[in-house]
Structure 1
Amino acid sequence: QLSAEEPLLHVRGVPSCRTPPPRTDPLWLERVDREGKVCDVQAFYRALAAIGLGYQGAFKPIQAAWTFAGEDGLVSDVLVELASQDAVADMGMGLSPAMMDGALQGLFFALAERLGQEAGREPSSYLPSWFGKTIVWSQGTPAWAEISLLHVTERSAKARILVRNAEGKPLVRFEDVRFLRVHHQSKAIEPAFYTERWYKAAAERRALTQASDVEALQRAVRAATTAYEWSSERAVETEELLHWLVMAYVREAVRVYDEWQPEELLFTEGW
């Protein structure tokens, strides 16, 4: 209904459930008054748009959100309230894709606070890349999503997400959901596209190269350049050699060490 493309069938089977659902009462709602921190949803979507995640229409279903601190004092759990923004988009769906996407978006509330603690960190986002296990108990309209951030590193995040209907009945649970860190490659192109190529420069650079290596490279460059004009084969070798020489110079000029950085920054910020 939202596209002229033919639908793709990814799986066919008979639904069955061997995993009992959790308690039907909305436990996390009981935590809101006691320990919940209210989030600014509009500011949340503006911040996502600034890094290329420009959610629109049906894919902005989060109406309210609360975060809960873990043992380390930083956000570990998030509760989001969901509401359909486009009846056509959600029509005829066992579980609305747009509403389920809103449940996944809830993790960003936790990541925003945790990553905000790291001064100077390159702006980036984490996008879902793997679902270890999905348990579906019932079709219905998602109204609440309970998100637990289980683990986060500078390259990935791991979460568990439980989705309930308005009455608190569990509909689906995603276990071992992995989010991969990506960098917004170009803010001038829409829709946004991202890079997964990262580079980590070691702080100790001298140990990587010996003086004899530098001398050998200098000899190779001199020999290649003197033969450039009279040998097409040597010209090709020289071009490749100069390519890798430039790459080496760029990598030596990086300003940030011992931290994963988008590889494209080697060319945009390395000089």
Structure 2
Amino acid sequence: MTTSDSLVAVVSGAASGIGAAAAAALAARGIRVAGLDLKPDEVAAPAVGIACDVTDDASVRGAVAQAVERFGRVDIVVNNAGIAAQGDITGNDDDEWRRVLDVNVIGMVRLARAALPHLRESPAAAIVNTCSVFALTGVPRRTLYSASKGAIYSLTLAMAADHVREGIRVNAVAPGAVDTPWIARVLALAPDPAAARAELNERHPLGRLARPEEVGEAIAYLATSASSGTTGTVLTVDGGIHALRL
């Protein structure tokens, strides 16, 4: 029987925000974590930082190989690395579209593809993709970002169908706005940052942004045996923004 303290997770974008919270939540469950990031020195212990650029297939394969060399296996993949974009359909040029889709979508493909042979050998294999409520709800000036997250929604379902009979569960989380350093930087650019934060809080029926730890706990749930009967599911952690109208 596989126990949590023998399982190994690789988490992309693990140095901050949702990725750091997911790594911490998994480690708290006794799972050994390889934190993949462009800044591996900023990955918090007990996760082990490994340099990884998800836009470079060789870098991704090398990072997975390092995780296997260090821990002997990979059971869980948390596909979290991503970047944001703002603007309507005229707001981003072709190069920006390619850049965001390369990180947000193809980056997830690269990591899952590199880890797949190891997941096939695991008795508790799981992939969790970080999607967004913007895949479910239209909001202004997020066309490129929403398109990338919509692709992740569909990618999650297709991967779940492909690999369910191999014993690999594939799910996703769909956060709303999360109180991460990136959100703080965006709000700091507003003419009145405090008013901008209050307005963003008000958009969520819970009256506040999600905390990274809340999303991290949702990821850990989907990645572990607590959700062993769940695959092909996109779990919203969005304060009710996509479904409730108060």
TM-score bracket, normalised by the shorter chain, equals: under 0.3
Q: TM-score, normalised by structure 2?
A: 0.28
Higher strand share: 1
Q: TM-score, normalised by structure 1?
A: 0.26
Higher helix share: 2
